Amino acid sequence: MKWLHNLVKGISLTGALFAFQACYGTVRPPEDQSTPMTFSLVSAKSGAPIEGVKISTSLTRDTYNNYGGSDAGITGPDGTCKVMLYYRRSLESPYIHFDGPDGLYFPKDTTLADLRERTVVVKLNPVE
């Protein structure tokens, strides 16, 4: 009779745990993360800063737009732009696309191996 009492108690406890998990779910850490990054765009030929480079980011390889669905930023007169890079822990890093102004530079696609580096210099090749 004692084993029947323990069996009913175990089933009741298991049922309560299932009901709790069904109502509240399991605690998960946030999947998406963000980090501020500064990009400095320079000409691969002359080393001069490039103004007007459009920077786009994506969590997938197919589309280049940032988390909000628009471009991440455009470089200023000094060739730099600070953007928020969004990434997932399951991926190595986000995909980044650089599009030079007025077709004077070849577009460049890349990923970053190390997201701890906060300033990245990118060299764009001019169209000749």
- Domain ranges in the chain are 32-124
11-31 mean pLDDT: 63
26-55 mean pLDDT: 81
Please give the residue that has the higher pLDDT: either 21 or 67: 21
For position 68, what pLDDT does the model report?
A: 38
Q: Which of 102, 94, 101 is nearest to 120 (CA)?
A: 94
For position 23, what pLDDT does the model report?
A: 66
> Percent of the chain, pLDDT > 90?
20
Q: Which helix (H) or strand (E) holds 103?
A: none
Confidence (pTM): 0.65
Residue-wise pLDDT for 52-76, tens only, equals 999 888 776 655 444 433 467 899 9
Give 24's pLDDT tier (boundaries 50, 70, 90): low
Please give the residue that has the higher pLDDT: either 9 or 40: 40
Q: Check: CATH 2.60.40.10 for 32-124?
A: yes
Residue type, position 28, single letter: R
Residue-wise pLDDT for 83-101, tens only, equals 887 776 655 567 888 888 8
Strand order in the sheet with 108-111: 73-74, 54-58, 95-99, 108-111
Looking up tokens 């993360």, which residue turns up? Answer: 33
Report the length, in residues, of the chain.
128
Please give the residue that has the higher pLDDT: either 26 or 60: 60
CB 110 within 8 A of CB 29: no
